[in-house]
Amino acid sequence: MTLVLGIDSSTQSTKAVLVDADDGTVVAQDAAPHPDATEVDPHAWTTALEAAAGPLLPRAAGVSVAGQQHGMVALDEHDAPVRPALLWNDTRSAGAARQLVEEWGGPQACADLVGSVLVASFTVTKLRWLRDHEPEAARRTHRVLLPHDHLSRHLAAPGTAAFTDRGDASGTGYFSTREDRWRPELAAAALGREVELPRVAGAGEAAAETRHGQVVGPGTGDNMAAALALDLQPGDVLISVGTSGVASARTQAAVHDGSGLVTGFADATGGFLPLAVTLNAARILDLQARLLGVDHDELAALALSAPPGSHGTTLLPYYGGERTPDRPHAVGTWTGLTTTTDRADLARAAFEALGCSLADTVDALAAQLDRPVGRVLLIGGATRSRALQQILPAVLGRDLELPEPGEYVARGAARQAAWALSGAATPPAWPTTGTRTLTAEPTPEVREAYVRLREQTGAWS
Ligand SMILES: Nc1ncnc2c1ncn2[C@@H]1O[C@H](COP(=O)(O)OP(=O)(O)O)[C@@H](O)[C@H]1O
Ligand SMILES: O=C(CO)[C@@H](O)[C@H](O)COP(=O)(O)O
């Protein structure tokens, strides 16, 4: 049996899955946590990768890394980080994002240039922030990588030149999805100096070898890997409820949404993967559980004991600032609290808020697609919650397909590794995983209350 290893280095942890290259059967898996911060020493990721994937790697003939998108790994001429990496959910570069969008001719011109309207998540805005706030670190920056590029190089034999893929590259803000190439002058203009960028490997390319001769695939962004794992078809929408909330779809043509709600990313196969992304998703529930002093199972039980609408309690869950809508300095807002509001209402309101926020991403994405939304699939850590499984279809007003439990980003990376190993023109045809349909009575009044609150706070303009 030929085995391949897929690694998911996402915001909260590294997960590794060892699978049969022929059919994707998982034979072993492990995970290791990451620091809880929006700036992280890249060394913490290599340490987590070694802990989760190190013991599995010797059994694999090929390996690929999928990573959280956008993070700025700025390296000096000796390839040492000039500072901790700034993550996709670090909003300090919001002012830089506005400045760059203006410099590039406004939102539509920006979307035409690089596929997306810049917000603080994009790597290029972090380069501009570095220029303006840490000029000494900016001066020492010689090379800029994304988290997955950094980890792929860690796995590759010493001396291997850095490489990336077009999927993750398309989230930097200095890659043209129209021309399918870096625009290094955009990175240079943001940082105030030229930098080296990784080679963009082809989809399915055997991009490098480990020191033991195992194939290293090009790797990709976590969202692109999830789409690859689930073999998304035209019309499918994938919702991921991890640290970020993401609605994504595969398209043949690039999207250039001047409204900025949808990013025009590339995928990991040669097509495109427009996304709408929130900064606040699973952690809305983590915080609610902490505030109520319960674990996730107890939070779910509490939430399911309250009626839809949570007796008028509504939450706008922009705790860490927000990206969709672009409100980098927003905070969470609760309304409708009365003398009879109880713990169950507070628990349910958190799930309903998460559902409404995800509904906003699905609507934004649907408006950019050239066909009606068909299947809506659901993945990510928070989908383990039985309350989420029941409340989300009610809030969205549609059935959802829940694939069997699994690490789909890591599986997508494994499928890419199997593809790179095969040398074939297309990824291996692994059997699709079974799904369970989640159905619920729609609760449109919940979304209506949420939209009223969102509009009152001016959060959607
Ligand atoms: N049963 C559960 N109920 C609600 N949230 C959960 C549950 N199990 C895990 N989570 C949450 O899922 C999140 C991790 O999801 P994951 O998709 O691995 O995130 P990421 O890929 O962003 O690192 C954490 O915030 C965790 O608390
Ligand atoms: O910023 C984005 C996509 O544009 C996020 O989706 C990151 O890629 C992080 O993903 P998770 O850690 O939530 O999986």
ipTM of the complex: 0.99
- Examine residue 380 and state whether it is found in any structural domain, yes or no: no
- How far apart are the CA of 280 and the centre of ligand 1, in A? 12
CB of 121 closer than 6 angstroms to any ligand 2 atom: yes
If DSSP codes are grouped into helix, strand and coil, which group holds residue 91? coil
H helices, E strands: number in the chain:
15, 24
User: What CATH number has the domain bearing residue 48?
Assistant: 3.30.420.40
Q: Which residues are catalytic?
A: 222
Predicted local distance difference test score (pLDDT) of residue 459:
57
CB atoms within 10 A of CB 113: 21
Residue whose structure tokens are 């998703």: 281
- How far apart are the CA of 273 and the centre of ligand 2, in A? 13
| Cα pseudo-dihedral 422, 427, 432, 433, rounded to 10 | 70
Of all helices (H) and strands (E), which one includes residue 155?
A: helix 147-155
- Examine residue 46 and state whether it is found in any structural domain, yes or no: yes
Q: For residue 89, which of 34, 37, 38 has the smallest C-alpha distance? A: 38
- How far apart are the CA of 108 and the centre of ligand 1, in A? 35
pLDDT in tens, 64-117: 999 999 999 999 999 999 999 999 999 999 999 999 999 999 999 999 999 999
- Examine residue 315 and state whether it is found in any structural domain, yes or no: no
- How far apart are the CA of 380 and the centre of ligand 1, in A? 7
**Contact indicator for 375, 231 with CB cutoff of 8 Å:** no
Q: Tokens for 379, please give them.
A: 């993945």
Q: Tokens for 76, please give them.
A: 């000096």
Ligand 1 environment, Cβ below 6 A: 10-13, 242-243, 282-283, 285-286, 296, 380-382, 384-385
Going by alpha carbons, the residue nearest to atom 5 of ligand 1 is 382
Going by alpha carbons, the residue nearest to atom 27 of ligand 1 is 286
CB of 275 closer than 6 angstroms to any ligand 2 atom: yes
Determine the Cα–Cα distance for residues 434 and 323; give it in Å rounded to an integer: 32
Predicted local distance difference test score (pLDDT) of residue 461:
44
Instruction: Tell whether 69 is in a known binding site.
Output: yes
| Domains in the chain, number | 1
- Examine residue 248 and state whether it is found in any structural domain, yes or no: no
Closest atom of ligand 2 relative to the 8 alpha carbon: 14
Mean pLDDT over each residue of the chain, to the nearest integer: 97
- Examine residue 304 and state whether it is found in any structural domain, yes or no: no
- Examine residue 141 and state whether it is found in any structural domain, yes or no: yes
Residue 69: domain span? 3-222
Closest atom of ligand 1 relative to the 384 alpha carbon: 1
| End-to-end Cα separation, the chain, in angstroms | 55
- Examine residue 159 and state whether it is found in any structural domain, yes or no: yes
Choosing from 69, 126, 149 the residue with most ligand 2 atoms within 8 A of its CB, the one to mutate for a pocket test is 69
Residue 71 backbone phi and psi in degrees, to 5? -55, 140
Pairing of strands 143-145, 85-86: unpaired
Q: Tokens for 111, please give them.
A: 């979307």
Going by alpha carbons, the residue nearest to atom 6 of ligand 2 is 244
Going by alpha carbons, the residue nearest to atom 13 of ligand 1 is 381
Choosing from 7, 9, 384, 408 the residue with most ligand 1 atoms within 8 A of its CB, the one to mutate for a pocket test is 384
pLDDT in tens, 167-224: 999 999 999 999 999 999 999 999 999 999 999 999 999 999 999 999 999 999 999 9
CB of 68 closer than 6 angstroms to any ligand 2 atom: yes
pLDDT in tens, 108-121: 999 999 999 999 99
- How far apart are the CA of 205 and the centre of ligand 1, in A? 32
If DSSP codes are grouped into helix, strand and coil, which group holds residue 275? strand
- Examine residue 57 and state whether it is found in any structural domain, yes or no: yes
Predicted local distance difference test score (pLDDT) of residue 388:
98
Predicted local distance difference test score (pLDDT) of residue 460:
55
CB of 323 closer than 6 angstroms to any ligand 2 atom: no
Burial class (CB in 10 A: 0-12, 13-18, 19+), 373: middle
Instruction: Tell whether 70 is in a known binding site.
Output: yes
**Buried-exposed string 249-277: b where 16+ CB fall within 10 A, e elsewhere:** bbbeebbbbeebbbbbbbbbbebbbbbbb
Closest atom of ligand 1 relative to the 300 alpha carbon: 3
Closest atom of ligand 2 relative to the 10 alpha carbon: 12
Predicted local distance difference test score (pLDDT) of residue 432:
85
Amino acid at 222: D
β-sheet bridge partners, residue 62: 4, 215
Residues of the chain with pLDDT under 50: 461
Determine the Cα–Cα distance for residues 44 and 35; give it in Å rounded to an integer: 7
